[in-house]
Amino acid sequence: MNNVIPRMFQANQVLNDRYQLKQRLGHPAAGRQTWLAQDQHQTGQLVVVKLLVFNSEFNWDDRKLFEREAQGLKHLDHAKIPDYEDLFVADTDENAALHWWG
């Protein structure tokens, strides 16, 4: 499995050998992006993937907020809100890591 994930994301990239990015959603904030993606393990089901990149500009408060948002989504059940699946961490190199959940 290839866990090297580039910091600049583009449509059609596949994350973690599973999620193919289709379209960026919303306006990206520093170190954060949200994408519509296709889950290649779930017969093409569309999912939302949120990304948080650790780099030299990373702020630990951003990670806390990101994880709090993920925890909040676990408890929501609404037709208009994507279901929470899981939280993942992938190392991109020795100086950066990527948190993402979908």
Q: What is the pLDDT of residues 23-78, one digit of tens each?
A: 998 776 767 788 889 999 877 888 888 888 776 777 788 888 888 888 888 888 88
User: Residue 55: inside a domain, yes or no?
Assistant: yes
What CATH number is associated with residue 60? 3.30.200.20
Report d(CA 9, CA 70) in Å as an integer: 21
Amino acid in the structure at residue 63: R
Whether the pTM exceeds 0.85: the reply is: no
User: Residue 26: inside a domain, yes or no?
Assistant: yes
Give me the number of domains the chain comprises: 1
User: Residue 90: inside a domain, yes or no?
Assistant: yes
User: Residue 75: inside a domain, yes or no?
Assistant: yes
Report d(CA 9, CA 11) in Å as an integer: 7
- E strand residue ranges, 16-78: 19-25, 32-39, 45-53
Give the residue with greater pLDDT, 44 vs 90: 44
User: Residue 6: inside a domain, yes or no?
Assistant: no
pLDDT at residue 1, as a whole number: 42
Residue 12 has pLDDT above 90, yes or no: yes
Residue 97 has pLDDT above 70, yes or no: no
Query: What are the distances in angstroms from CA 64 to CA 24, 25, 67?
Result: 23, 22, 5
Tell me which residue range forms the domain holding 43.
Answer: 14-101
Asked whether 100 and 70 are in contact (CB, 8 A), the reply is: no
Query: What are the distances in angstroms from CA 22 to CA 36, 57, 73?
Result: 6, 26, 22
